[in-house]
Amino acid sequence: MKFGVVVFPGSNCDDDTVGVIESLGHQAVKLWHKQTSLENCDFIIVPGGFSYGDYLRSGAIARFSPIMENVIKHANEGGYLMGICNGFQVLVEAHLLPGVLLRNNSQKFISKNIYLKTGTQNSLLTQALDANKAYKVPIAHAEGRYFADEKTIQTLKDNDQILFYYCDENGNINENSNPNGSLENIAGICNAQRNVFGMMPHPERAADIALNNVDGLEILKSIVNC
């Protein structure tokens, strides 16, 4: 599988993402935002960072970069696409995923390890994960509070589209384990066709034994071990 990692001005997790994919034995190339070709990549990742300095609104300007026309086309034709943190923000701005990502309820930038629990194993991203395990993965965002109207939230539940919930280290999903005020503790979702994925936590930052944490690697392994 060939991965393409989109790079905008302000992206800062592209090298981490490429490094993890290559460590799993797959090819990964960087795709500069001004180009239009996806270079025959099978799986596109929009990484974390601060695209365009988060001016206007996180992801709002990046969504109109030249490469996004073909990223959107790739997704609409069934190609795999994943957005991590700022990448998730870009994908909701592009209307490839429902809902919005608002300012954290603390109104502060949050950077710390949190715990995740998968909400479904019916996706490429979560198929190999332990449904009972709390995965420790870092977050680093100011606008990560997932919000959608009541009908959209119900649709996500009915269609089994909630990939991850924020939880505590014992896997309990509650208000105390919610770091940013996201509705229903939602940390990641997929589209109805199950080929577009978005998550706020950073699995690529928890994928090296030198960091004493490889929980994020398990999430990315789920993709390549299909």
Q: Which of 33, 141, 167, 204 is catalytic?
A: 204
- Average confidence score pLDDT of the chain: 96
Mind giving me the DSSP string for 131-178? Answer: TTPPEEEEEEESS-EEE--HHHHHHHHHTT-EEEEEE-TT---SGGG-
**Residue in 53, 6, 72, 57 with CA at minimum distance from that of residue 34:** 6
Domains contained in the chain, number: 1
CATH of the domain at 175: 3.40.50.880
- Copy the structure tokens of residue 118: 């998968």
Entry pTM: 0.96
pLDDT tens digits, residue range 185-195? 999 999 999 99
Whether 190 is catalytic: no
Catalytic residue of the set 33, 74, 141, 202: 202
- Angstrom distance (rounded) from CA 98 to CA 119: 17
**What is the β-pairing status of strands 196-199 and 186-190?**
antiparallel
Is the pLDDT at 159 greater than 70? The verdict is yes
Q: Would you call 85 a catalytic residue per the annotation?
A: yes
3-state class of 38 per DSSP?
coil
Which amino acid is located at 190 in the chain? C
204 is catalytic: yes
| Range of the structural domain that residue 16 is part of | 2-224
Model confidence pLDDT, tens digit, residues 102-139 = 999 999 999 999 999 999 999 999 999 999 999 999 99
